[in-house]
């Protein structure tokens, strides 16, 4: 029988961050995870943005979330010896004049101008269509989520901490007061970071999940310098990647199974290009990606230990903002497990008030 302190089930963004943070804090951790295929992390565009959507919604603790996200990705770059985070301004093209009022509201709430500039055309990259102007969001950027997932996997494998498998909740056996067993492994706890797998995980059926399927495309312009070299959002998003290709995202569909990328989504995404750009170049679609955003809307992510048995835990519900929410919440859970630091009551599955 093998022994470890913590088994992490799943290795998307949540499991990757938690495993690395637990190891950093001296916890003996092993990760049970199949490959990245079908995960939300592999499908994501990787935009790290302080505000999203036409209402410019921002989560509470925005400065802390942004600060922890940046420092976490930068620290991981050192550990994994690769580039992961590209700080860059994000241009959001206003879709309607009403957005001007929303921007003003958010500026009043968040130390004016700190993250959100007033709408303008000045500085907007050539060729971007913006009849109502655009706002430049600061302190965000792009996280190479696919690379992060792949490098963490490689790192865990090299350290003998990766079990290429699926941890079925019904295969978990409880032994005595303080041990849990799965196959040939004994641990003090299992933390589920299983993304959309949680929708059928019996431990977490009481949580208010929101399932949102999404697709994105990796595209390449057929003309040199054909697509903008900064992030443009507004309805859909266009994200420049290090290798010269772009990620075009994303679609939103409620309550669907993940499945394969669809022709309908491909058409919907490509139709956005002429709305974002005055003269879009011909593009080649290199790959379609599909995933399920495991959301906890309207609350923060779910973190903590199960109210009925502290040997089972969770980090999930990152929704459509995993890059921003993941690092801070993973750090809180890692501190709780390693040092007993209390969890924030609004996210802790033992304390939050939005649960039955
Ligand atoms: C099209 C699209 C675009 C997006 N764009 C952005 C963006 O620009 N910015 C942003 O911040 N967020 C974005 N998101 C959201 C982001 O992808 C998620 O917030 C984040 O990746 C969720 O990570 P996760 O680890 O919780 O889930 P996942 O990445 O889905 O990982 C869960 C993993 O657990 C595995 N698993 C499931 N069950 C088990 C089990 N029993 N045992 C072991 N392993 C298991 C799964 O196979 C999977 O690999 C996007 C999502 C989509 C779909």
Does residue 60 lie in a domain region?
no
Greatest alpha-carbon pair distance for the chain in Å reads 67
Q: What is the CB neighbour count within 10 angstroms for residue 271?
A: 10
- Does residue 204 sit in the same domain as residue 220? no
Dihedral of CA atoms 342, 344, 349, 352 in degrees, nearest 10, equals: 130
- Does residue 223 sit in the same domain as residue 291? yes
CATH number at residue 247: 3.30.9.10
- Does residue 112 sit in the same domain as residue 235? yes
Q: Which residue out of 7, 197, 240, 265 has the highest number of ligand 1 atoms within 8 Å of its CB and is therefore the one to mutate?
A: 197
Does residue 162 lie in a domain region?
yes
- Residues at CB less than 6 angstroms from ligand 1: 9-15, 32-34, 36, 38-41, 43-47, 166-168, 193-197, 214-216, 249-250, 291, 293-294, 316, 318-324
Residue 65 pLDDT level (bands cut at 50, 70, 90) = very high
Query: Of 279, 295, 311, which residue constitutes the final position of a domain?
Result: 295
55 CA → ligand 1 middle, Å:
24
pLDDT digits (tens, 9 = 90+) for 140-194: 999 999 999 999 999 999 999 999 999 999 999 999 999 999 999 999 999 999 9
15 CA → ligand 1 middle, Å:
9
Q: Which residue out of 6, 10, 49 has the highest number of ligand 1 atoms within 8 Å of its CB and is therefore the one to mutate?
A: 10
- Does residue 283 sit in the same domain as residue 229? yes
Residue 223 pLDDT level (bands cut at 50, 70, 90) = confident
Does residue 55 lie in a domain region?
no
For the chain, the domain total comes to 2
Question: How many whole angstroms separate alpha carbon 133 and alpha carbon 139?
Answer: 20
- Does residue 214 sit in the same domain as residue 288? yes
Q: Whose CA is nearest to atom 35 of ligand 1?
A: 10
- Does residue 215 sit in the same domain as residue 165? no
- Does residue 42 sit in the same domain as residue 165? yes
Q: Is the pLDDT of residue 226 over 90?
A: no
pLDDT at position 258: 73
Question: How many whole angstroms separate alpha carbon 356 and alpha carbon 352?
Answer: 10
Q: What percent of the chain has pLDDT over 90?
A: 89
Q: Is the pLDDT of residue 36 over 80?
A: yes
- Does residue 132 sit in the same domain as residue 154? no
292 CA → ligand 1 middle, Å:
7
Does residue 355 lie in a domain region?
no
Out of 9-13, 104-108, 150-154, 178-182, pick the least confident.
104-108
261 CA → ligand 1 middle, Å:
16
CA 292 to ligand 1: nearest atom = 53
CA 323 to ligand 1: nearest atom = 11
Contacts of 133 (CB under 8 A, 6+ apart): 94, 100, 119, 120, 121
Does residue 302 lie in a domain region?
yes
pTM of the predicted structure, to 2 decimals:
0.97
Question: How many whole angstroms separate alpha carbon 49 and alpha carbon 136?
Answer: 11
pLDDT at position 233: 96
Q: Is the pLDDT of residue 354 over 90?
A: no
The DSSP annotation for 228-242 comes to: -SSEEESSSEEEE-T
The parent domain of residue 34 ranges over: 2-48+146-208+297-339
- Does residue 118 sit in the same domain as residue 257? yes
- Does residue 291 sit in the same domain as residue 151? no
pLDDT at position 111: 67
Does residue 39 lie in a domain region?
yes
Q: Whose CA is nearest to atom 3 of ligand 1?
A: 44
Does residue 97 lie in a domain region?
yes
- Does residue 115 sit in the same domain as residue 97? yes
Does residue 56 lie in a domain region?
no
Question: How many whole angstroms separate alpha carbon 163 and alpha carbon 175?
Answer: 21
Q: Is 75 in a helix, a strand, or coil?
A: helix
Residue 255 pLDDT level (bands cut at 50, 70, 90) = confident
Residue 355 pLDDT level (bands cut at 50, 70, 90) = confident
HSE-up of residue 114 (Cα within 13 Å, Cβ side): 12
- Going from the C-alpha of 135 to that of each of 38, 50, 237, 243, 279, the distances in angstroms are 33, 12, 14, 26, 21
Question: How many whole angstroms separate alpha carbon 161 and alpha carbon 19?
Answer: 9
- Does residue 325 sit in the same domain as residue 187? yes
150 CA → ligand 1 middle, Å:
13
Which of 50-54, 191-195, 224-228, 241-245 has maximum average pLDDT?
191-195
195 CA → ligand 1 middle, Å:
5
Q: Which residue out of 36, 44, 90 has the highest number of ligand 1 atoms within 8 Å of its CB and is therefore the one to mutate?
A: 44
CATH number at residue 152: 3.50.50.60
């Amino acid at each position: 029988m093998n022994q470890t302190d913590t088994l992490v089930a799943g290795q998307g963004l949540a499991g990757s961050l938690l495993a690395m943070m637990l190891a950093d804090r001296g916890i003996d951790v092993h990760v049970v995870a199949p490959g990245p295929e079908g995960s939300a992390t592999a499908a994501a565009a990787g935009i790290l943005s302080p505000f999203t959507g036409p209402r410019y919604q921002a989560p509470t603790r925005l400065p802390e979330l942004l600060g922890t996200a940046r420092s976490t990705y930068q620290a991981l770059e050192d550990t994994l010896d690769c580039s992961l985070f590209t700080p860059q301004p994000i241009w959001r093209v206003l879709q309607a004049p009403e957005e001007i009022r929303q921007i003003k509201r958010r500026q009043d709430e968040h130390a004016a101008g700190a993250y959100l500039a007033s709408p303008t055309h000045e500085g907007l990259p050539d060729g971007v269509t913006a009849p109502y102007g655009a706002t430049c969001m600061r302190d965000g950027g792009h996280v190479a989520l696919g690379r992060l997932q792949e490098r963490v996997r490689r790192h865990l494998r090299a350290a003998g901490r990766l079990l290429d498998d699926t941890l079925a909740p019904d295969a978990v056996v409880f032994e005595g007061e303080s041990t849990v067993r799965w196959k040939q492994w004994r641990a003090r706890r299992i933390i589920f970071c299983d993304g959309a797998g949680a929708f059928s995980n019996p431990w977490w059926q009481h949580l208010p999940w929101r399932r949102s399927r999404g697709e994105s495309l990796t595209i390449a312009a057929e003309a040199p310098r054909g697509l903008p070299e900064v992030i443009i959002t507004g309805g859909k998003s266009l994200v420049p990647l290090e290798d010269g290709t772009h990620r075009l995202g994303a679609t939103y569909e409620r309550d669907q199974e993940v499945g394969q990328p669809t022709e309908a989504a491909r058409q919907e995404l490509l139709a956005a290009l002429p709305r974002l750009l005055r003269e879009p170049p011909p593009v080649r679609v290199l790959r379609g990606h599909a995933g399920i955003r495991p959301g906890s809307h309207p609350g923060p992510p779910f973190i903590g230990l199960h109210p009925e048995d502290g040997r089972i835990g969770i980090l999930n519900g990152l929704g459509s903002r995993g890059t921003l929410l993941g690092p801070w919440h993973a750090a809180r859970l890692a501190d709780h497990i390693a040092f007993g630091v209390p969890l924030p009551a609004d996210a802790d599955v033992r304390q939050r008030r939005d649960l039955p």
